Structure 1
Amino acid sequence: MRLNHANLGNAIFAKFLTEVGTNSQEIIKIPSTIHKCQDLKELLSAVYPQLDVADTSTPSFLTERTILSARNDDVNAINIAALNIFLGNTYTYLAADKMVEDDEIDPSITNRYPNEFLNSLDPPGLLAFKVELKVGCPIMLLRNIALKDRLCNGTRLMVSRCDTRIIEARILTGEKFGNLAFIPRISLTPSSAEMPFRMTRRQFPVRLAYALTINKSQGQSVKFVGVDWRTPVFSHGQLYVALSRCTSFDRISILLANDELDSTTNIVYPEVLL
């Protein structure tokens, strides 16, 4: 549906995407028309050209490109690498952690866990303890803040000002593109059965968004996409989702593992497609 089939190149790309989305073969050969990168630096350069040059980061520049990876750990590593290349001062925001006061909790448990230990925790549903940003970098909201203003989980923005108590940013997606938004710190208390206590973390609900997980990119369209396949996909349809974010072979750049020159893993369960 994204492609104009009057263009022969797009028609071939559409056919390839259909095969990826319906083919249950475990290994898919990557067409030679897709740009293959040798390392992460080349992938970043292909998707975000001149990242180390002043004034290249604009809302229109950022909204039409992204890098995708299957795992959160790989996404975090790519985002940090991109932020280190990008020019500008780094603003570091540390969260405020505290134990939730509860009459049912044994006081000895509270005394047993210092703040340093709470700071090191990263359970599901909890914001990062440390957030590093630069003016001009892309970020993604991790919680719903104002639905009528399209400030919801998954919205991408570009940082325009970093303050102590607020982050000022411009929306990069949807009908509110270009609108100015103000993001405050929020407090979250995760419900994790793995911890013998409850804690609250107060932090800005954002993360860097030079790179996204493949699952998080569903529903988004971009002009240029990079895909990090050093770690293969691990669930149904991830390969198709990653490749179908843009509309042409020549706008895709990929990074494969060293021992894979022209192929990658694909996972499709035919019974799901019935």
Structure 2
Amino acid sequence: MSDYRYFQSRAILAPTLESVEKVNDFVLTIFPWMEKEYLSSDTTCQADENEDVKQEWFTSEFLNDIKCSGLLNHKLTLKPGVAVMLLRNIDQTSGLCNGTRLIVNKLGSNVIGVTVVTGRNIGDKVYIPRMNLIPSDSGLPFKF
């Protein structure tokens, strides 16, 4: 599966977040390379509209266990060779948009090297930096 063209016309659809986790865990076992874990921030920002909400109400353990659509999991495990989907518009002129599929090449502390496999920039090698992701409407009474 080192040929990125294999992934251009393929996708795995899963009906629930639990199914997605199981598929992701299984796919990671297929690739022999060393995995790298990326962890999210586990603090909150005071939401302007909810001044009554106290940050101390939300422990790190609570924040790390939140799993809902539109909000990334606390732990992201990657290996070189795995397919991923970009969940944010980074550079639309370069084709790095929400939904762009990528193959992981290199794993750094704060950057991931990838190859673009969909869109008009197929085959381009780019780096995706670590960045903040603040959900616009998560339904939660606070912002991360």
Equivalent-residue separation in structure 1 for 2:67 and 2:105 (angstroms): 28
In structure 1, runs of 5+ residues without a counterpart are 1-55, 201-274
Greater RCO (Cα-Cα under 8 Å, separation 6 or more): 1
Q: TM-score, normalised by structure 1?
A: 0.48
> Does the Cα contact within 8 Å between 1:156 and 1:173 map onto a contact in 2?
yes
Residue identity in the other structure for 2:100? T
**1:133 is aligned to 2:105:** no
**1:192 is aligned to 2:134:** no
SS in 1 for 2:5: helix
Deviation at 1:153, TM superposition (A): 0.9
Q: Which residue of 1 aligns with 2:35?
A: 90
Which structure's CA Rg is the greater one?
Answer: 1
Select the structure that is richer in strand: 1
> How many residues get paired?
142
> Does the Cα contact within 8 Å between 1:120 and 1:129 map onto a contact in 2?
yes
Equivalent-residue separation in structure 2 for 1:102 and 1:66 (angstroms): 36
In structure 2, runs of 5+ residues without a counterpart are none
Give the counterpart of 1:157 among 96, 102, 119. 102
Equivalent-residue separation in structure 2 for 1:72 and 1:114 (angstroms): 23
1:100-249 equivalences under 5 Å are 100-102=45-47, 105-106=51-52, 109-190=54-135, 191-193=137-139, 195=140, 197-200=141-144
Q: Are the structure 2 counterparts of residues 102 and 131 from structure 1 closer, same or farther at C-alpha, using a change threshold of 3 Å?
A: closer
Q: Which residue of 1 aligns with 2:26?
A: 81
Residue identity in the other structure for 2:65? S
SS in 2 for 1:186: coil
Measured against aligned partners, the alpha-carbon deviations of 1:100-147 in whole angstroms (never above 9, x if no partner) come to 13565237x222221121111123322221101101111111111111
Equivalent-residue separation in structure 1 for 2:51 and 2:69 (angstroms): 21
Deviation at 1:69, TM superposition (A): 3.3
Equivalent-residue separation in structure 2 for 1:63 and 1:83 (angstroms): 19
Residue identity in the other structure for 1:199? K
Deviation at 1:182, TM superposition (A): 1.2
CA RMSD of the aligned region, Å?
Answer: 2.0
> Does the Cα contact within 8 Å between 2:35 and 2:77 map onto a contact in 1?
yes
Select the structure that is richer in helix: 1
SS in 2 for 1:70: coil
Deviation at 1:71, TM superposition (A): 3.2
Residue identity in the other structure for 1:180? K
Q: TM-score, normalised by structure 2?
A: 0.86
Q: Are the structure 2 counterparts of residues 102 and 199 from structure 1 closer, same or farther at C-alpha, using a change threshold of 3 Å?
A: closer
**Aligned residues: percent identity?**
35
Deviation at 1:155, TM superposition (A): 0.6
Equivalent-residue separation in structure 2 for 1:60 and 1:149 (angstroms): 19
Equivalent-residue separation in structure 1 for 2:60 and 2:35 (angstroms): 24
